Amino acid sequence: MSGRGAGIVLKTLTKQFPTSHLHSHLISNLTKKKNLSSEERKKEAKKLKQRSKSRVRVRVSMPFLVRDRLYFGNIGDAAAVLSGGGSDNGQEITHVLSLLSSASISFFSEWKQSISIETEEIEQVHVAGDESPKRSLSPEKLLYLKERAGPDLKLVRMAVPLKDTEDEDLLDYLEVCLDFIEEGRREGSVLVHCFAGVSRSAAVVMAYLMKSEKKSLEDALDSLKEVCESVSPNDGFLDQLKIFEEMGFKVDTSSPIYKRFRLKILGQAYKEGTRIDGSVFEADPGLSPGPRPTPEALTENSHEQDKQELEQQRQQAKKVAYRCKKCRRVVALQENVVSHVPREGETCFDWNKRRYTRPFNPSEENECSSLFVEPMKWMTAVEEGALEGKLHCIHCDARLGYFNWSGIQCSCGSWITPAFQIVKSRVDISTA
Ligand SMILES: [Zn+2]
Ligand SMILES: [Zn+2]
């Protein structure tokens, strides 16, 4: 512990962390795996149970070395590093990734008055100023703050404002975090920390392991637990990491999985009283004909053949347009449709019980008398802020359907929440 800053007493965490949420999550995930006999399933469940039991331990030393040049810890570790210490085993920490509810360095002195850390800002990037494609976060939100910090301003700190709650949007911060970890490991060593070193930092480090080592969510969690048994990302983060896995270890904002996630986030924001303005709506397909290029949709790592197939599927899907029956104006493209599995009850938008793999299939789709779509810029009634209302064609004013932030039940029985519904009998499908 020689490198630690003087005057900082590291808190030893003696709290025992609840295991039941995670456990039931893993079990419920497990039951979704195909081709497992009930016997095998029981065995797997038993293994998981044992695994979660071993998690309840006392944490004594931090930060933890996760991989070469990659550390993981709590606010005490970060405070020690930022106020003048390196790490214990020769790999001096040069980069700190802070995942705290506030990006400001004053968080540390508010935590402990004796701490003062010198900083000099490098950049502040807000969601709107980021060049990446549309996110679920509102444009005015801070994406990250980057600064030089510590003695002689030798360290680089990136702070990402992130709360440890289940409905916090982790996905949209993930890629900037992973890029910073990469940068840190290239130029020195990086410490990823949150407050307790249990949920937020664990989730981000897991995403890093998933991406860099092509690990499943479960394997990444196991691997991190070998280093630190008490890690336990909250259930919302675990669900989002599952989405990350299913998108091929990246955040593909054009994928249906992401669109569903985004709608869910929008629905939550509405529920909490945020005014949802048109800036977060999808473009009006009636004004922008033709497919939008989505190069980021292609996985860098997939084979050339897969790429071509994927691109073909995408192009085909994009050619499908839904037109107002009365005036023929395009009101939605296939890419705007947020598909659901017929008769899935209330589960289709529930993060814990999602199913995404089923592709668009016209014969199955016949059972549903409505389409559910993303909110688009022509839906002026939605912008006015009502909880629910009718959707009219912006060109001829014909009634096309309804919207309701608290959900609409499809004719198949599924509840879609929030719902932007277009009644199929009021539109024509064209493939031109
Ligand atoms: Zn349906
Ligand atoms: Zn019309």
The residue behind tokens 């190069």 is 295
Ligand 2 centre from 380 Cα, in Å? Answer: 14
Please state the separation of Cα 189 from the chain's center in Å: 25
Q: How far is CA 263 from CA 345, 353, 354, 419, 421, in A?
A: 18, 16, 14, 9, 13
Among the bound ligands, name the one nearest to the CA of residue 339: 1
Q: What is the signed CA dihedral for 245, 246, 252, 253, rounded to 10 degrees?
A: -120
Give me the helix-helix angle, 171-187 and 235-246, nearest 10°.
Answer: 80
pLDDT of residue 306: 64
Token duo for residue 356: 């995404």
Among the bound ligands, name the one nearest to the CA of residue 337: 1
Residue ranges per structural domain of the chain: 3-61, 64-246, 302-431
Ligand 1 centre from 309 Cα, in Å? Answer: 28
Mean pLDDT, to the nearest integer, of 276-304?
62
pLDDT of residue 129: 73
pLDDT digits (tens, 9 = 90+) for 77-86: 999 999 885 4
The residue behind tokens 């990037």 is 125
Asked if pLDDT for residue 352 goes beyond 70, the answer is no
Average pLDDT, the chain: 79
Among the bound ligands, name the one nearest to the CA of residue 398: 2
pLDDT of residue 321: 93
Ligand 1 centre from 270 Cα, in Å? Answer: 23
Token duo for residue 130: 């980021």
Confidence of residue 239 (pLDDT cuts 50, 70, 90): very high
CATH number of 302-431: 2.170.150
Beta pairing, strands 155-161 & 93-100: parallel
Ligand 1 centre from 368 Cα, in Å? Answer: 4
Pairwise CA distance, residues 124 & 141, whole Å: 11
Pairwise CA distance, residues 155 & 198, whole Å: 24
Q: Which residues pair with 67 in a beta bridge?
A: 70
37-41 contact pairs (CB < 8 A, 24+): none
Asked if pLDDT for residue 17 goes beyond 60, the answer is no
- % of the chain at pLDDT higher than 70: 70
pLDDT digits (tens, 9 = 90+) for 359-402: 444 444 447 899 999 999 999 889 888 999 999 999 999 999 99
Q: Indicate the helix (H) or strand (E) that contains 110.
A: helix 106-111
The residue behind tokens 């993060």 is 351
Task: Give residues whose Cβ lies within 5 Å of ion ligand 2.
Answer: 324, 326-327, 329, 393, 395-396, 398
Cβ-based neighbour number of residue 290 at 10 Å: 9
Select the CATH number that applies to the domain covering 64-246 from these four: 3.30.70.1290, 3.60.60.10, 3.10.105.10, 3.90.190.10. Answer: 3.90.190.10
Pick the closest to residue 222 from 213, 214, 231 (CA basis). Answer: 231
Active site residue 194: yes
Pairwise CA distance, residues 71 & 95, whole Å: 10
Token duo for residue 253: 């904002």
Domains 64-246 and 302-431 share a fold: no
The residue behind tokens 């999808």 is 282
Mean pLDDT, to the nearest integer, of 35-41?
60
Among the bound ligands, name the one nearest to the CA of residue 395: 2
Ligand 2 centre from 419 Cα, in Å? Answer: 20
Ligand 2 centre from 166 Cα, in Å? Answer: 41
Pairwise CA distance, residues 43 & 47, whole Å: 6
Token duo for residue 37: 């006999």
Higher pLDDT, 15 or 377: 377
pTM exceeds 0.85, yes or no: no
Confidence of residue 127 (pLDDT cuts 50, 70, 90): confident
Higher pLDDT, 157 or 129: 157
Mean pLDDT, to the nearest integer, of 422-427?
96
Ligand 1 centre from 35 Cα, in Å? Answer: 27
Pairwise CA distance, residues 361 & 359, whole Å: 6
Which among 194, 228, 348, 393 is annotated as catalytic?
194
Asked if pLDDT for residue 348 goes beyond 50, the answer is no
Mean pLDDT, to the nearest integer, of 150-169?
94
Handedness of CA 401, 324, 136, 237 (dihedral sign): positive
